[in-house]
Structure formats: structure tokens, C-alpha cells
């Protein structure tokens, strides 16, 4: 840690935000488990994956929260490092599992033709995994120079990141061309949410380049990660649910129509 202490306000802001994140993950977990029964059979798998994602993230946040709590002790009204390191590595372990799963949620809920679906699934999950794995060596390197290990791994990790955005915008757009306007809007929205929230992580990664260090930067990063994680996992899962509901509705209308004309 490159700072001497946190004020009580700084410590509590992170503490409370992490606690809120655990609550959001647990609440979403229950919601997705129950909501599985409210959508058509074809879409249940996506909701199971949504519950898995928030379940895994909820557990990791619990560990991060504990680690934060153990990393400081209150002395003379200030929180000073206790000597136990704050273990942030849980985040990368979490992303390694949950980020590919977020891609699975999206592709499976669209119920595309089998071949299209498996091709998208394979490429998106591998790219998501590579993006996280490649970022990690840079994250733990101490260097703050642009042309350093951090810069190198960050750049490598950005390649699959850009590839994912390309697939979501160009290929996925084409794949849902024949779907209803309402569904297209829902997919457009979830794509925007993905871009807006995923964009935070590489920006946070670059914090050392902007000389963002010290207690204030740590507090900003921890709160930023928490907000981004709630939106990218709970909010995202809710949007997946909305897509599943819409597709269920359309499937029902279709069978009713077929029955009527039969």
C-alpha cells in the first residue's frame, strides 16, 4: 500500500459499498433462481447461468470485504494498515470465471440456430477468458511506465476486449436481424450496458499512469469496481431476464397463431 492511513470516512465508504455489493449479489441470486420459472423452457439455462454468476461474485465479494476489514486497524481515529495485505486478487479469479459466463448468458438467451450459437459461444468465452488472463501479469507488476510490463499485458488484453465488442456489435447484430424491433432494442441496450460497464475496468487498470495513487485513488477504485460489478452482473442479468420474457411472449403468440390457423 502506498499510503499511510485512511480516514474513517474513506474506510467506511469502501466497507459500506462492499457490503451493499454482497447484498445486491445475494438479492439477485434469489431473484434469478425464482425468475427461472417465469420464462420459457428454452431460456431457463441463461437464468441458471445468471444465478451462478452472482452467486460466485457474491462469495468473492464476501472474501474481499473480509480482507478489507482485516487490512486496517483503527488507531487515533485513523485506519492504518494492519500489516495484513488487502487481497484484491479475488477480483481476477472472479472475472476469470464470471466474465466468460456473462457471454454464455447472452448467447444462450437469444436461442439462435445451433451452429451460429455454438460458434459465437466458443469465440466469446475464449476471448473473455484471454482478456482477463492476459491482464493479470500487468496488474500485479509494480511498474508505472507506459512501456513496461503493465503496458504490454494491458495492450495484449485489449485485443480480445476489442474482438468481443466487434462480435457483439457486428456479428450479433446480423444474427438478430430478423427478430422483433422490441427484441433488437433490448439487445442494443444490453450491449450499451456492457460497453459502459466493462469500459471501467481497463480505465481503472490505467490508474497508475495518471499518477492516481494514495488513499483517495484506492477508495475511488474500490467503489468504482463495486458499482461496475453490480451493473455488469446484477443489472446485466436483469436485462437477460427481460430478453427471456420477451422471447417467451413471442413464442407463445406464435403457438397461439399456429393453433388459430390450424
| Binding stretches for ligand RET (CB under 6 A) | 95, 98-99, 131-132, 135, 154, 157-158, 161, 198, 201-202, 205, 229, 232-233
Indicate the DSSP class of residue 171.
I
CB closer to ligand RET out of 58 and 186: 58
CB 105 → ligand RET: shortest distance, Å?
11
Rounded Cα distance, 152 and 141, in Å: 11
Which C-beta is closer to ligand RET: that of 206 or that of 253?
A: 206
Query: Is the CB of residue 71 less than 8 Å from the CB of residue 62?
Result: no
Tell me the HSE value of 187 on the side-chain side, using a 13 A CA sphere: 26
Which CB sits closer to ligand RET, 23 or 74?
A: 23
Give the residue with the Cβ less far from ligand RET, 186 or 232: 232
Cell numbers representing residue 140 in the block = 500485479
3-state secondary structure of 145: coil
Residue 99 Cβ, how far from ligand RET at the closest point, in Å?
Answer: 5
How far, in Å, CA of 93 to CA of 74, rounded?
A: 29
Residue 74 has φ and ψ, to the nearest 5°, of: -80, 125
Strands (E), the chain: 6-7, 72-75, 78-81
Q: Residue 111 or residue 212: which is nearer to ligand RET going by CB? A: 212
Edge-first strand order for the sheet with 6-7 is: 6-7, 78-81, 72-75
**CB 161 → ligand RET: shortest distance, Å?**
4
In the complex with ligand RET, the residue whose CB is nearer, 88 or 251, is: 88
Measured CA to CA, the distance from residue 106 to residue 186 in angstroms comes to: 11
- CA count, 13 A, side-chain hemisphere, 32: 29
In angstroms, what is the minimal distance from the CB of 242 to ligand RET? 19
Residue of 101, 103, 111 lying closest to 39 (CA atoms): 111
The answer to whether the CB of 108 falls within 8 A of the CB of 122 is: no
Nearer to ligand RET, 34 or 162 (CB): 162
Amino acid at each position: 500500500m502506498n499510503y499511510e492511513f485512511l480516514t474513517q470516512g474513506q474506510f467506511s465508504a469502501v466497507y459500506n459499498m462492499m457490503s451493499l455489493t454482497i447484498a445486491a449479489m445475494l438479492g439477485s441470486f434469489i431473484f434469478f433462481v425464482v425468475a427461472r420459472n417465469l420464462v420459457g423452457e428454452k431460456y431457463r439455462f441463461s437464468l441458471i447461468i445468471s444465478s451462478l454468476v452472482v452467486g460466485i461474485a457474491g462469495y468473492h465479494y464476501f472474501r474481499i470485504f473480509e480482507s478489507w476489514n482485516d487490512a486496517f486497524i483503527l488507531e487515533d481515529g485513523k485506519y492504518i494498515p494492519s500489516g495484513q495485505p488487502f487481497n484484491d486478487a479475488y477480483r481476477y479469479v472472479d472475472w476469470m470465471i464470471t466474465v466468460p459466463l456473462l457471454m454464455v448468458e447472452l448467447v444462450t438467451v437469444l436461442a439462435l440456430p445451433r451452429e451460429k450459437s455454438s460458434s459465437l459461444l466458443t469465440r466469446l468465452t475464449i476471448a473473455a477468458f484471454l482478456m482477463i488472463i492476459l491482464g493479470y501479469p500487468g496488474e500485479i507488476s509494480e511498474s508505472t511506465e507506459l512501456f513496461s510490463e503493465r503496458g504490454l499485458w494491458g495492450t495484449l488484453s485489449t485485443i480480445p476486449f476489442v474482438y468481443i465488442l466487434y462480435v457483439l456489435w457486428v456479428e450479433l447484430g446480423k444474427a438478430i436481424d430478423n427478430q422483433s424491433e422490441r427484441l433488437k432494442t433490448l439487445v442494443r441496450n444490453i450491449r450499451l450496458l456492457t460497453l459502459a460497464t466493462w469500459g471501467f475496468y481497463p480505465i481503472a487498470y490505467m490508474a497508475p499512469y495518471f499518477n492516481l495513487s494514495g488513499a483517495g485513488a484506492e477508495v475511488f477504485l474500490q467503489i468504482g469496481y463495486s458499482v461496475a460489478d453490480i451493473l455488469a452482473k446484477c443489472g446485466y442479468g436483469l436485462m437477460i431476464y427481460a430478453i427471456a420474457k420477451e422471447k417467451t411472449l413471442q413464442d407463445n403468440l406464435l403457438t397461439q397463431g399456429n393453433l388459430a390457423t390450424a
